[in-house]
């Protein structure tokens, strides 16, 4: 009998282990005791590498301090789970500092799936869907003119002009601000500081409370980190609410220009959002668009230097369709397929958010014989998905807008799982980027006006030789991937450029 008492529990444990779905989690690297795969998670270059996919496949399993994480290394796997099973994979992991304290549970990008997220998402969609996004075309064109004019006036400061361009365009689209002439504008600086704080608070190891959630309940007077986060939430709330209140005051005076905040205010009774929720939703739209658009434009400028044939082909298209007596406009968009392909290609070629914002599973699930536990954090290897040779060809690492065109030169449909974008930078399922139409339009008109107005060539060294640029390495800002600093030479394409830009600038400033 004593022997049976020892044998039976052992047999039961073996049976339970044999039947456990945890034996069939996706393949992945062996972790360390207790901390698991924290080293692999922190090594972004390994995490997003082809080595990771080659070794473990399209779905890779990691575990950090008992938390399940999967990395999706193909467009199909990502679309199968995050898109076609959006009901299960539309949640977000819990970010205690970034989501619950620093932004007071009002940052829609980090909100977990629920009633408030659906209300905010619906309100944002009403102001940013494809048709609604056209309301911002006039703003985007004016800013593109200012961008080209500014860069030709001081080409050595092209990066500063691009930062000003995106900040001013998005601030005007969100808050109906006047043209911002400097990235040192008080509100721009304060909002950018806010975006940086939030992004840094999501990095692994930034706060112990993410590993030990009980610490959230420590009284603020005994926890400086918590006290600081709460104070920033109070200050940022006041700033964001004041920006929306300014728009509300303009509407009361009969000043009704296109802006996202104006749309929120006019639709408030339908959306059910209160004043603070609207203010934070508007701020999220600025934060999601400004730095990402600027980064993509940096990569585009690098591509113009490194792949001059693409620049010349785009300029030939512009000369044929637009000519040299006027600037490009959105009415030209249907006749400029190569320029439109260039927007798709720069986003595909260099994925500024290498793994995007993680999703989270709401229940246990199975995928191709692999078990995915409830609460699993899901990361998409965006860069690898966008450079898959099986989808984009053997030259997938090269910048070539023509890959998005049909043989007759017209725009081709995007690969099946890209929502016709030609890439997966904007995400999947119910969490797909709500501002993607504004972003596409912004880059289209900026690229069109810049290429119509200017020539971008490599800078020369003291011996007159081209200074080479590195298209493969990058700077990891903690949130975005940026190209390594590089120099280039920017000159007007033809003598009348400056006069036409100035005339257009004056004409638009009067309307």
365 strand-pairing partners: 372
Distance CA 384, CA 241 (A): 40
Please identify which residue in the block is written with the tokens 């912004």: 442
DSSP characters over 160-228: HHHHHHHHHHHHHHHH-PPPP--TT-HHHHHHHHHHHHHHHHTSTTS-GGGTSGGGGGS-GGG-HHHHH
Alpha-carbon separation of residue 465 from 307, 459, 468 (angstroms): 17, 8, 9
Known binding-site residue numbers: 433
Burial class (CB in 10 A: 0-12, 13-18, 19+), 114: exposed
Closest C-alpha to 327, from 468, 454, 476, 415: 454
Pair type for strands 359-360 and 377-380: antiparallel
CA 99 to chain CA centroid, Å, is 18
Q: Residue 91: left (phi > 0), alpha (psi -120 to 50), or beta?
A: beta
61 strand-pairing partners: 70
Look up residue 422 and give its two tokens. 């030609």
Residue 492 gets which letter from DSSP? E
Cβ–Cβ under 8 Å, residues 381 and 55: no
Known binding-site residue numbers for heme: 433
Distance CA 380, CA 357 (A): 8
Look up residue 2 and give its two tokens. 């004593």
Residue 414 gets which letter from DSSP? P
Sequence-ordered list of residues with C-beta below 8 angstroms from that of 181, at least 6 positions apart, any chain: 164, 168
Would you give the end-to-end CA distance of the chain in angstroms? 95
Look up residue 298 and give its two tokens. 């940096």
Distance CA 316, CA 189 (A): 39
């Amino acid at each position: 009998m004593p022997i049976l008492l020892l044998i039976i529990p052992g047999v039961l444990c073996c049976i339970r282990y044999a039947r456990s779905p945890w034996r069939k989690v996706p393949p992945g690297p062996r972790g360390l005791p207790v901390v698991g795969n924290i080293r692999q998670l922190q090594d972004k270059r390994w995490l997003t590498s082809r080595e990771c996919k080659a070794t473990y496949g399209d779905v890779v399993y990691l575990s950090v301090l008992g938390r399940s994480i999967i990395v999706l290394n193909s467009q199909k796997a990502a679309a199968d789970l995050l898109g076609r099973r959006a009901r299960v994979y539309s949640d977000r992991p819990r970010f205690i500092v970034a989501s619950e304290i620093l932004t007071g549970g009002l940052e829609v990008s980090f909100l977990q799936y629920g009633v408030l997220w659906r209300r905010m998402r619906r309100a944002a969609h009403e102001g940013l869907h494809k048709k609604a996004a056209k309301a911002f075309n006039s703003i985007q064109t004016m800013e593109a003119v200012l961008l080209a004019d500014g860069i030709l006036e001081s080409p050595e400061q092209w990066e500063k002009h691009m930062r000003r361009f995106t900040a001013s365009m998005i601030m005007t689209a969100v808050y109906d601000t006047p043209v911002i002439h400097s990235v040192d504008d008080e509100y721009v600086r304060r909002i950018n500081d806010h975006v940086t704080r939030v992004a840094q608070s999501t990095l692994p190891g930034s706060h112990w409370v993410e590993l030990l959630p009980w610490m959230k309940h420590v009284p603020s007077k005994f926890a400086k980190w918590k006290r600081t986060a709460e104070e920033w939430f109070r200050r940022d709330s006041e700033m964001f609410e004041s920006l929306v209140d300014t728009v509300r005051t303009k509407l009361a005076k009969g000043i009704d220009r296109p802006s996202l905040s104006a749309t929120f205010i006019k639709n408030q009774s339908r959306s059910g959002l209160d004043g603070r929720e609207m203010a934070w939703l508007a701020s999220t739209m600025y934060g999601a668009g400004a730095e990402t658009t600027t980064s993509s434009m940096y990569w585009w400028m690098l591509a113009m230097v490194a792949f001059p044939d693409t620049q010349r082909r785009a300029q030939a298209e512009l000369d044929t369709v637009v000519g040299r007596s006027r600037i490009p406009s959105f009415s030209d968009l249907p006749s400029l397929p190569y320029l439109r392909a260039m927007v798709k290609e720069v986003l595909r070629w260099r994925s500024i958010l290498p793994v995007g914002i993680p999703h989270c599973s709401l229940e246990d699930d199975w995928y191709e014989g692999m078990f995915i536990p409830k609460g699993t954090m899901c990361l998409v290897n965006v860069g690898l998905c966008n450079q898959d040779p099986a989808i984009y060809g053997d030259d997938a690492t090269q910048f070539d807008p023509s890959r998005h065109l049909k043989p007759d030169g017209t725009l081709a449909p995007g690969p099946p799982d890209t929502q016709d974008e030609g890439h997966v930078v904007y995400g999947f399922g119910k969490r797909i980027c709500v501002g993607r139409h504004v972003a596409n339009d912004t880059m289209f008109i900026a690229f069109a006006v810049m290429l119509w107005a200017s020539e971008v060539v490599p800078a020369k060294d003291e011996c007159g030789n081209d200074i080479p640029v590195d298209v493969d390495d990058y700077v990891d800002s903690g949130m975005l991937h940026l190209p390594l600093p590089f120099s280039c030479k920017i000159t007007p394409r033809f003598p009348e450029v400056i006069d036409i830009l100035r005339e257009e600038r004056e004409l638009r400033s009067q309307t």
